[in-house]
């Protein structure tokens, strides 16, 4: 939450370090929400990401939210081409990337215009003054220059000649204007790094790696970075820098991680743990492609990645790999999810382990490809023909994607079933610090390939889990045929017997229902024994809901939060848990999907709070809704 | 398995349920007969099919088998073969399965050259759904769904395969057991995607579609048997052949000053010739045999080589090391 500038305590002494004492004032803040905004080509994602790393290394808790257009390069200077990166960094635990930026860097008029409405009152705006040319103003749809027409009165505006100063810093290197222009983001990063007293060494090291083959560009970028830093130090413009003390967080080794990276690593870890090769069959689609990209770099583990001709081939190839004994994954987003349905049904029917990852985006149809939504839940539940149940797991935060991907594999193998893993575009690209897991302490994943021909039948079942044996081609004596046609219990031979069909349908359904034994007791954040209001949520709404509930509880309201990881089957104790509350509100980025399941399963008269703007819930929106709910 | 296998070892215990007289029986018999000659243990053989009468095939083979979904067998087989290069993977598909709903997967599997044997049973009809026209049905085909005759131009499977740059392309006929056996062997011996079109009679919905090629009394005048290095001769009395007239192939009678030496000699390695022969449709004789065979690195071998190279270069995967990669920091 935005801390009003008045409440910021002044720190007496500059940061202890070997450096000479800073001349300038040094103000302590609890946390800051900053947004870097510019044209798609201005390198704002990169500046944001590096600033995130600097802040993480400084010990802050962090949460990020990149926001980029679907177009790769919309016409320069237009609103459609604005790309943003928001970071909340804090000296205490945080759950979201922040409702309203208190600081914004705007590299051109379009970036200013597109983001102004989101800013906190009295926010700091740093602009590249020189980018506010007549033609740029026109492209952004400004009639007059906001830097001079008084329309930014409510904000603290700092006009910096970023372009000129960057060019100056590169003087004598003989770079052309275009190359110099492209270093502006590093200048800005340097300036902001000074403003928040972030050491820039990690960025310099990073630049070194990135431009290993181009020492000239390394030189240019690091010069721009240092010039920005020194500019902050010397300019009259900034009277003070800020200090955000390290957060008290759980001890351990950390790295900053996005949801997509965590998903890829979770799959990899599960494969390593199971001792089986990993196979990913996938077709590129935003925002899922990065999982394909990342897994493609782990070939030595071994990891097979197959960029298929379409999503159908992506999932089908994974079904084939599962038949052969690999940890089989497919990744996609909504439109691809539709295409995969029939092949997933085949995996349900033939009881093969497979993980279908849906990194949800705003739909229907192409919708808003780079924006998150949670409207694929009922498709994951019911979007196949016939009785086709499968477990569904949803990740709550970027780092939780690791645990959920891992768990999805574990359950798929233990129950010989396809599993749907749901994340979304927000989790995919946003990041947070992650305590590195100890590979030795990850839950066990046991794979027992069937080898004994004695008594083997394709659909003979484990007594507890009801899972069938994984009997892979190449095993002597186990030759058998499976397929999509209704099959006889045990033998798997084609069978059209009505009673047998019902037996098999019910058995598969019981098998999936039995996955509840994997689900730990439901955790209630707040009043375990019940109270006035429970908020039930799933997926990426976690941060906003948790922060809102915390705030409400700090105000003495009886509000609790239940967050679901397992969406099918639902936890066995969920109905009883929810019944202990007078009211149940289901918060979702759709028009009400989980709520339908809750009402149908438990006959609980829950009500929904929904948003489908391709943007996460703001904490304040949920706080307001809580107030209404408790009044009404 | 130490002892040599026989045809019987490949016969499963399932009752075969094709219509009596269906050409699929002959193909099944040829495959079961050919299998023991390949000397591959049964457990290493997998048949993967889509949906259609033809795609019931795996149930009747006592090997590993997977009867999947309509059109997707090539993709499923790709996932299996890539991760299990040790297996001998066969795909069975139909003209609808492989060229209509699954056309996309078929061209891509051929282009990638995944080491699979792909048997396309072409009966020029949808058998299983009871007789609609298919993408290989001749124009004007009257079926239940085209009472006034079909109006879309058919695919020629051989041309589709060549167009997709398949590395091995061949054609045979259900009733030509000896030829079919040879073609199965050639397909089997080829490393890479081997595409074998098998002309198959559906005696229920499209009976006699290949009569010219199977009727013993006339077939010799309609079949052009392709043999590498041999001149293109055909006819009951082997008195006809194919000659180039400038850029155009033509049928000529041998004799009257024309000898075998004037005819085109078949060359499996000549892609242009393969395209030309693929274009032969009546009244030209219908070629059967190997149109084209080229050795080209296979997709599954290449991907496994990339994995092996990565391992040699980076060492075996180390999860702990990977997790600790990049910017990490310690909180005490
Ligand atoms: C997704 C889907 N669409 C349609 C069908 C119905 N269908 C089954 S087989 C078939 C056509 C099969 O024709 P072909 O591949 O030529 O096989 P044949 O029966 O002639 O051997 C169709 C349309 C299906 N099973 N699945
Ligand atoms: S319908 Fe035709 S293709 Fe199918 S089994 Fe009968 S004869 Fe064979
Ligand atoms: Mg057919």
The answer to whether residue B311 sits within a structural domain is no
**Which CA distances in Å does A323 have to A101, A268, A338?**
50, 19, 22
State whether B146 and B294 are in the same domain.
Answer: yes
Please, which pLDDT band fits residue A2 given cuts at 50, 70 and 90?
very low
Span A319-328, average pLDDT: 98
- Smallest Cα–Cα separation from A538: which of A394, A400, A428, A358? A394
Residue B320 has pLDDT above 70, yes or no: yes
Residues whose CB is less than 8 angstroms from the CB of residue B188 and which lie 6 or more positions away in sequence, other chains included: B34, B38, B88, B117, B194
User: Which chain B residues contact residue A470 at CB under 8 A?
Assistant: none
Q: How many domains does chain A have?
A: 3
How far, in Å, is the centroid of ligand 3 from the Cα of B90?
18
Do A198 and A266 lie in a common domain?
no
Verify that A193 and A273 share a domain, yes or no. no
Q: Which residues, in sequence order, are CB contacts of A537 under 8 Å at separation 6+?
A: A545, A561, A562, A563, A564, A586, A587, A588, A594
Cβ proximity of B80 and A320 under 8 Å: yes
What does the alpha-carbon distance between residue A626 and residue A585 come to, in Å, rounded to a whole number?
9
Verify that B92 and B42 share a domain, yes or no.
yes
In angstroms, what CA-CA distances link B290 with B133, B231, B269, B286, B294?
A: 27, 14, 10, 12, 11
Q: Is A495:A488 a contact under the CB 8 Å cutoff?
A: yes
Average pLDDT rounded to a whole number, residues A452-476: 98
CA distance to partner chain B, nearest, from residue A96 (Å):
21
Number of structural domains in chain B: 2
Chain B partners of A324 at a C-beta cutoff of 8 Å? Answer: 79-80, 83-84, 87
The answer on pLDDT for A13 being more than 50 is: no
**Does residue A507 lie within any of the structural domains?**
no
Radius of gyration of chain B, Cα coordinates, nearest whole angstrom: 23
Residue A601 has pLDDT above 80, yes or no: yes
Sheet harboring A252-258: ordered strands across?
A431-435, A252-258, B328-331
How is residue A404 written in tokens? 């959920």
Range A482-488 average pLDDT: 97
Whether the predicted pLDDT of A509 surpasses 60: yes
Region B15-40 average pLDDT: 97
Is residue B253 located within the same domain as residue B142?
no
Q: CA nearest B322: which of A295, A329, A357, A210?
A: A295
Residues B30 and B165 in one domain: yes
Q: Are A54 and A422 in contact (CB under 8 A)?
A: no
Would you say residue B65 has pLDDT above 90? Answer: yes
**Are B251 and B168 found together in one domain?**
no
Find all residues with CB under 8 Å of B115, minimum gap 6, and list them.
Answer: B81, B85, B89, B191, B192, B193, B298, B299, B300, B301
Distance CA A570, CA B152 (A): 51
Q: The CATH number of the domain where A316 resides is what?
A: 3.40.50.970
Residue A303 has pLDDT above 70, yes or no: yes
Residue with tokens 């059967």: B288
pLDDT, one tens digit per residue, over A221-278 is 999 999 999 999 999 888 889 999 999 888 999 999 999 999 999 999 999 999 999 9
B249 close to ligand 1 (CB < 6 Angstrom):
no
Among A215, A241, A267, identify where a domain stops: A241
Residues B142 and B259 in one domain: no
Please write the tens of the pLDDT for every residue from B125-148.
999 999 999 999 999 999 999 999
Does the distance separating the beta carbons of A474 and B75 come in below 8 Å?
no
Same structural domain, A222 and A283: no
Note whether residue A214 is domain-resident.
yes
The pLDDT-based confidence of A17 (bands split at 50, 70, 90) is very low
Asked if pLDDT for residue A5 goes beyond 80, the answer is: no
Residue B305 in domain: no
Q: What is the structure's pLDDT at A236?
A: 87
Q: Tell me: pLDDT of A35 over 50.
A: yes
- Are B40 and B79 contacting, i.e. CB atoms less than 8 angstroms apart? no
| A82 and A73 Cβ atoms separated by less than 8 Å | no
> Of A387, A415, A441, which marks where a domain is finished?
A441
Query: Which residue's CA lies nearest to atom 2 of ligand 2?
Result: B202
Indicate whether B204 belongs to any domain: yes
Residue A35 burial (CB count, 10 A): 28
* In a shared domain, residues B40 and B140: yes
CB < 8 Å to B311, chain A: 299-300, 302
Residues A210 and A275 in one domain: no
Q: In the predicted model, what is the mean pLDDT of residues B298-303?
A: 98
Domain of A603?
533-630
In angstroms, how far apart are the furthest CA atoms of chain B? 100
- Is residue A39 in a domain? yes
What lies within 8 Å, CB to CB, of A586 at 6+ separation is A535, A536, A537, A592, A594, A595, A598, A606, A607, A608, A609
Give pLDDT, residue A179.
Answer: 86
Which DSSP string corresponds to A525-543? BS-TT--SEEEEEEGGGHH
Domain shared by B186 and B259, yes or no: no
Task: Kindly report, residue by residue over A540-597, the tens digit of the pLDDT.
Answer: 999 999 999 999 999 999 999 999 999 999 999 999 999 999 999 999 999 999 999 9
CA pair distance A111, A373, nearest whole angstrom: 24
Q: Is the CB of B123 under 6 A from ligand 1?
A: yes
**Which of A384, A385, A329 minimizes the C-alpha distance to A352?**
A329
Residues B154, B197: Cα–Cα separation, whole Å: 15
Tens digits of residue pLDDT in B70-102: 999 999 999 999 999 999 999 999 999 999 999
CB contact under 8 A, B78 and A320: yes
Catalogue the long-range contacts made by B175-180 (C-beta closer than 8 Å, 24 or more residues apart). B175/B23, B175/B26, B175/B201, B175/B214, B176/B214, B176/B288, B177/B26, B177/B29, B177/B30, B179/B225, B179/B288, B179/B289, B180/B26, B180/B27, B180/B30
Which of A246, A249, A242 minimizes the C-alpha distance to A9?
A242
Q: Which pLDDT tens digit goes with each residue over A132-145?
A: 999 999 999 999 99
Compare B171 and A179 and report the one with higher pLDDT.
Answer: B171
Q: How far apart are the first and last CA of chain A?
A: 26
- What is the distance between the alpha carbons of residues B223 and A55, in angstroms, rounded to a whole number? 77
Rounded to whole angstroms, the Cα distance separating B227 from B235 reads 15
The whole-number pLDDT of residue A7 equals 33
Residue-wise pLDDT for A107-135, tens only, equals 999 999 999 999 999 999 999 999 999 99
As a whole number, mean pLDDT of residues A312-322 equals 98
Residue B119 alpha carbon to ligand 2 centre in Å: 16
Q: Are strands B45-49 and B64-67 parallel, antiparallel or unpaired?
A: parallel
Scanning B51-90 for CB atoms below 8 A from A yields 51, 58-59, 61-69, 72, 75-84, 86-87
Give the residue on B whose Cα is nearest the Cα of A326. B83
CATH number at residue A118: 3.40.920.10
Length of chain A: 632
| CATH number of domain containing A598 | 3.40.50.920
pLDDT attached to residue A4? 30
**pLDDT of res. A18:** 40
Tell me, yes or no, whether A65 and A195 share the same domain: yes
pLDDT of residue B2: 52
The helix or strand, by DSSP H or E, that contains position A29, with its residue range, turns out to be: strand A25-29
In whole angstroms, give the CA distance from residue A561 to residue A581: 11
pLDDT of A21 > 90? The answer is: no
B244-254 tens-digit pLDDT: 999 999 999 99
Quote the strand ranges of chain B, DSSP E. Answer: 45-49, 64-67, 88-94, 117-122, 168-173, 194-199, 223-226, 233-234, 240-245, 248-253, 286-293, 328-331
The percent of residues above 70 in pLDDT, for chain A, comes to: 96
- Per-chain mean pLDDT for chain A: 94
Confidence of residue B314 (pLDDT cuts 50, 70, 90): very high
Residues in a beta bridge with B292: B169
* Residue ranges in A479-541 assigned as alpha helix (H): 498-513
DSSP code of residue A62? E
Which of the listed residues B92, B205, B206 should we mutate to test ligand 2's pocket, taking the one with most ligand atoms within 8 A of CB? B205
Average pLDDT of A368-396? 97
Contact yes or no for A529/A580 (Cβ under 8 A): yes
CB contact at 8 A, A425 and A372: yes
Does residue A204 fall inside a structural domain? yes
**Is residue A495 in a domain?**
no
pLDDT mean over A497-507: 98
**Distance from the first to the final alpha carbon of chain B:** 60
Query: What is the rounded average pLDDT of the residues A495-503?
Result: 97
What pLDDT is attached to residue A180? 87
Residue A16: pLDDT band with limits 50, 70, 90? very low
Q: Which domain holds residue B258?
A: 231-265
Question: For residue A630, with 0-12 CB atoms within 10 Å meaning exposed, 13-18 middle and 19 or more buried, which class applies?
Answer: middle
Beta-bridge partners for B92 = B49, B119
Residues B146 and B277 in one domain: yes
Q: Which mutation among B20, B53, B125 tests ligand 2's pocket best, with the greatest number of atoms within 8 A of CB?
A: B53
Residues sharing a CB contact under 8 Å with residue A320, sequence separation 6 or more, in sequence order: B48, B66, B75, B76, B77, B78, B79, B80, B81
Strand partners, A329: A280, A355
Residue A220 has what pLDDT? Answer: 96
Q: What mean pLDDT is predicted for residues A89-103? A: 95
What integer pLDDT is reported at residue A429 of this predicted model? 94
pLDDT at A8 over 70: no
Q: Among residues 6-25 of chain B, which lie with CB inside 8 Å of chain A?
A: 12, 14
The last residue of a domain, from among A392, A411, A441: A441
Query: Are the beta carbons of A415 and A566 closer than 8 angstroms?
Result: no
Residues A148, A149, A150, A155, CA torsion sign:
negative
The pLDDT value given to residue A249: 84
Produce one character per residue of B93-131: b if its CB has 16 or more CB atoms within 10 Å, e if not. Answer: bbbbbbbbbbbbbbbbbbbbbbbbbbbbbbbbbbbbeeb
Residues A236 and A142 in one domain: yes
A219 and A280 assigned to the same domain:
no
Chain B neighbours among A 169-228 (CB < 8 Å)?
202, 206
Average pLDDT over residues B120-127: 98
Q: Do B153 and B238 sit in the same domain of this protein? A: no
Let me know if residue A40 belongs to a domain.
Answer: yes
Q: Are residues B296 and B213 in the same domain?
A: yes
Q: From CA A249, how far away is CA A435, in angstroms rounded? A: 10
Type and span of the H or E element at A103: strand A103-106
- pLDDT class of B332 with cuts at 50, 70, 90: confident
| CA angle B71–B76–B78, rounded 5-degree value | 115
Any domain includes B193: yes
Residues 255-294 of B with CB under 8 A from A: none
Supply the pLDDT for residue A278: 98
Structure tokens at A570: 């639902």
Q: Are residues A111 and A227 both part of a single domain? A: yes
Average pLDDT, chain B: 97
Three-state DSSP string of B56-99: HHHHHECCEEEECCCCCHHHHHHHHHHHCCCCEEEEEEEHHHHH
How far apart, in whole angstroms, are the C-alpha atoms of residue A348 and residue A350? Answer: 6
Reply yes or no on whether the pLDDT at B40 is more than 70. Answer: yes
CATH of the domain at B154: 3.40.50.970
Smallest CA-to-CA distance from A437 within A250, A608, A565, A597 is with A250
Q: With bands split at pLDDT 50, 70 and 90, how would you rate the model's confidence at A23?
A: low
pLDDT recorded at residue A19: 45
Tell me, yes or no, whether B240 and B164 share the same domain: no
Lowest mean pLDDT among A208-212, A338-342, B198-202: A208-212
């Amino acid at each position: 939450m935005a801390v009003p500038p008045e409440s910021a305590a002044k720190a007496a002494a500059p940061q202890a370090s070997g450096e000479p004492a800073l001349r300038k004032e040094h103000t302590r803040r609890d946390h800051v929400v900053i947004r870097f905004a510019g044209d798609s080509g201005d390198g704002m994602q990169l500046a944001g990401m590096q600033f995130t790393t600097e802040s993480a290394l400084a010990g802050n808790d962090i949460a990020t939210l990149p926001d980029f257009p679907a177009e790769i390069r919309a016409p320069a200077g237009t609103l459609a081409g604005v790309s943003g990166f928001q970071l909340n960094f804090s000296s205490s635990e945080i759950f979201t990337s922040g409702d309203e930026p208190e600081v914004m860097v705007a590299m051109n008029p379009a970036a200013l215009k597109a983001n102004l409405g989101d800013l906190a009152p009295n926010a700091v705006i740093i602009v590249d003054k020189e980018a506010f040319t007549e033609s740029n103003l026109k492209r952004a749809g400004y009639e007059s220059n906001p830097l001079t027409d008084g329309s930014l009165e409510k904000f603290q505006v700092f006009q910096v000649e970023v372009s000129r100063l960057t060019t100056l810093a590169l003087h004598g290197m003989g770079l052309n204007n275009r190359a110099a222009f492209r270093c502006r983001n590093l200048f800005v990063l340097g300036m902001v790094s000074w403003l928040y007293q972030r050491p820039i060494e990690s960025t310099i090291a990073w630049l070194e790696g990135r431009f290993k083959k181009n020492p000239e560009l390394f030189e240019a970028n690091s010069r721009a970075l240092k010039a920005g830093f020194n500019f902050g130090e010397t300019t009259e413009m900034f009277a003070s820098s800020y200090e955000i003390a390290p957060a008290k967080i759980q001890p351990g080794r950390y790295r900053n991680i996005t949801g997509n990276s965590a998903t890829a690593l979770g799959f990899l870890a599960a494969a390593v743990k199971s001792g089986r090769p990993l196979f990913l069959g996938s077709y590129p689609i935003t925002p899922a492609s990065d999982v394909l990209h990342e897994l493609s770099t782990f070939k030595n583990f071994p990891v097979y990645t197959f960029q298929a001709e379409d999503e159908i081939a992506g999932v089908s190839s994974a079904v084939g790999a599962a038949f052969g004994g690999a940890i089989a994954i497919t990744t996609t987003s909504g439109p691809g999810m539709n295409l995969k349905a029939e092949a997933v049904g085949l995996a349900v029917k033939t009881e093969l382990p497979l993980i279908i990852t849906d990194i949800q985006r705003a739909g229907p149809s192409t919708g808003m490809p780079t924006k998150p939504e949670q409207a694929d839940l009922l498709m994951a539940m019911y979007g196949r023909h016939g009785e086709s149940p499968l477990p569904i797991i949803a990740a709550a935060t970027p780092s939780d994607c690791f645990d959920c991907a891992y768990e999805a594999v574990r359950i798929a193998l233990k129950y010989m079933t396809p599993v749907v893993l749901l994340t979304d575009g927000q989790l995919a690209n946003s990041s947070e610090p992650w305590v590195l897991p100890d590979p030795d302490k990850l839950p066990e994943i046991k794979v027992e390939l069937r080898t004994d021909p004695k008594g083997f039948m394709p659909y003979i079942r484990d007594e507890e889990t009801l899972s069938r044996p994984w009997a892979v081609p190449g095993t002597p004596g186990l030759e058998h045929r499976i397929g999509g046609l209704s099959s006889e219990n045990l033998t798997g031979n084609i069978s059209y017997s009505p009673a047998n069909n019902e037996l098999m349908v019910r058995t598969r359904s019981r098998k999936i229902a039995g996955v509840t034994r994997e689900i730990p007791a439901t955790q209630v954040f707040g009043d375990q024994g019940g109270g006035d209001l429970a908020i039930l949520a799933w997926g990426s709404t976690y941060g906003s809901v948790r922060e809102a509930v915390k705030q409400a509880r700090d105000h003495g309201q009886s509000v609790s939060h239940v967050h679901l990881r397992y969406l099918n089957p639902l936890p066995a104790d969920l109905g009883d848990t929810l019944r202990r509350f007078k009211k149940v509100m289901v918060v979702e980025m759709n028009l009400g999907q989980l709520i339908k399941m809750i009402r149908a399963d438990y006959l609980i008269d829950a009500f929904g709070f929904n948003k489908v703007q391709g943007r996460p819930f703001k904490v304040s929106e949920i706080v307001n809704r809580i107030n209404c709910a408790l009044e009404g | 398995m130490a002892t040599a296998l026989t045809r019987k070892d490949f016969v499963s215990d399932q009752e075969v349920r094709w219509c009596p007289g269906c050409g699929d029986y002959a193909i099944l018999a040829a495959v079961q007969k050919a299998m023991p000659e390949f000397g591959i243990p049964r457990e290493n053989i997998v048949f993967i099919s889509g949906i259609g009468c033809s795609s019931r095939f795996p149930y009747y083979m006592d090997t590993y088998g997977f009867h999947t979904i309509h059109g997707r067998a090539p993709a499923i087989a790709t996932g299996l073969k890539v991760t299990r290069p040790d297996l001998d993977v066969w795909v069975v598909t139909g003209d609808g399965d492989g060229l209509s709903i699954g056309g996309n997967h078929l061209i891509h599997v051929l282009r990638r050259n995944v080491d699979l044997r792909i048997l396309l049973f072409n009966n020029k009809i949808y058998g299983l759904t009871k007789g609609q026209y298919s993408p290989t049905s001749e124009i004007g085909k009257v079926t239940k769904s085209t009472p006034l005759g079909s109006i879309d131009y058919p695919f020629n499977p051989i041309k589709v395969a060549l167009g997709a740059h398949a590395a091995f392309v061949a054609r045979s006929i259900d009733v030509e057991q000896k030829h079919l056996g040879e073609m199965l062997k050639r397909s089997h011996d080829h490393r890479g995607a081997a595409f074998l079109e098998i002309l198959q009679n559906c005696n229920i919905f499209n009976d006699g579609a290949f009569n010219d090629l199977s009727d013993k009394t006339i077939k010799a005048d309609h079949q052009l048997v392709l043999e590498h290095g041999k001149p293109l001769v055909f006819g009951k009395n082997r008195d006809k052949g194919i000659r180039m007239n400038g850029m155009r192939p033509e049928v000529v009678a041998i004799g009257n000053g024309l000898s075998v030496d004037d005819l085109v000699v078949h060359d499996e390695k000549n892609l242009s010739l393969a395209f030309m022969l693929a274009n032969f449709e009546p009244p030209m004789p219908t070629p059967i045999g190997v149109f084209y065979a080229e050795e080209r690195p296979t997709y599954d071998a290449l991907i496994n080589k990339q994995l092996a190279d990565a391992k040699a270069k980076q060492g075996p995967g180390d999860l702990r090391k990977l997790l600790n990669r990049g910017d990490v920091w310690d909180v005490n």
